[in-house]
Homo-oligomer: A and B are copies of this chain.
Amino acid sequence: MTSRKGSSRNLHTQVVENLGESIVGGVFQPGDPLPGEAQLANELAVSRTVLREALKVLAAKGLIETRQKTGMRVRDSRYWNHLDADVLGWRCASLPTDDFVEKLVEMREIVEPAAVMTAARRREPAQLEAIREALAAMEDAQTLDEWAEADLHFHQAVLLATNNELLSSLFSVIETALGTFFVMSARTAKNFKYSLPHHRAVYEAIRRRRPNEAAAAMHTMIEDSRANMRKSRRRK
């Protein structure tokens, strides 16, 4: 069952994911020299051209650096683009550590309350409507998957309503955080809608242009989800 989920579009994409997971997953430690292009291409059964395209992408994400004669080395994790969606994903490929999950929540606590404050001030009608639609989808959700999708849309719509694309780009972090949350709390799938009131409160505060209320509601929501994760973590 070596068939990729659906990532078999391009060969270099597969190679990027393969090597990316290996590096982020610690198979290759920072400082370690990777096998040369020729050998690596052989091992992965791809041409050197394809391999090199993949290596350039990994270098662009800060994971490796290459120099002539010396070869390729895994860069210190201090230089990785930790906010890159792929890097975040690779980090959660093999169940994320509790430590990392806590860092994700920490980011949410910094970013999302600030984002809803900004959104409450600057949201345009169409952006508010997008948030409302996401909220409606959450209310109508019948399965955990439907809920998860609508939930992601809600938080993305909030970020977009800030009208600051730098802030919106942090959605990759929120997406990863929520994703791990869904996985961890999959067993408590009974009442997966428990956070609906929190979301409604955030929406209402944004609609009524009340930055502080929005931030407070968002803060409560995140604190709640953190507590829930701690619970299901202990249960494990």
Which A residues form the contact surface with B (CB < 8 A)?
Answer: 12, 16, 49, 52-54, 56-57, 59-61, 77-78, 80-84, 86, 103-104, 106-107, 110-111, 114, 118, 160, 164-170, 173
- Docked-complex contact A164 and B106, CB < 8 angstroms: yes
- Docked-complex contact A107 and B166, CB < 8 angstroms: yes
A107-B59 Cα distance, complex, nearest whole Å: 26
Q: Indicate which residue in B52, B82, B83, B106 contacts A53 across the interface (CB closer than 8 Å).
A: B52
B contact residues around A165 at 8 Å (CB): 77-78, 80, 82, 103
Closest 8 CB pairs of A and B: A110-B114, A82-B169, A57-B60, A53-B56, A83-B169, A103-B164, A82-B165, A107-B166
In chain B, what residue has the closest Cβ to A49? B49
In the assembled complex, the CB of A220 is this many whole angstroms from the nearest CB of chain B, namely 18
In the assembled complex, the CB of A15 is this many whole angstroms from the nearest CB of chain B, namely 11
Give 18 A-B contacts (CB < 8 Å), ordered by A residue: A49-B49, A52-B53, A53-B53, A56-B56, A77-B165, A78-B168, A80-B165, A82-B168, A82-B169, A83-B166, A84-B84, A103-B164, A103-B166, A104-B166, A106-B167, A107-B164, A107-B166, A107-B167
B contact residues around A52 at 8 Å (CB): 53
In chain B, what residue has the closest Cβ to A87? B169
Known: A57-B56, A57-B60, A111-B110. A82 touches B49 (CB 8 A): no
B contact residues around A86 at 8 Å (CB): 60
Q: Indicate which residue in B16, B82, B84, B107 contacts A81 across the interface (CB closer than 8 Å).
A: B84
In chain B, what residue has the closest Cβ to A118? B106
A110-B110 Cα distance, complex, nearest whole Å: 7
- Docked-complex contact B78 and A167, CB < 8 angstroms: no
In the assembled complex, the CB of A16 is this many whole angstroms from the nearest CB of chain B, namely 8
B contact residues around A56 at 8 Å (CB): 12, 53-54, 56-57
In the assembled complex, the CB of A212 is this many whole angstroms from the nearest CB of chain B, namely 15
A104-B52 Cα distance, complex, nearest whole Å: 34
In the assembled complex, the CB of A125 is this many whole angstroms from the nearest CB of chain B, namely 18
A82-B167 Cα distance, complex, nearest whole Å: 9
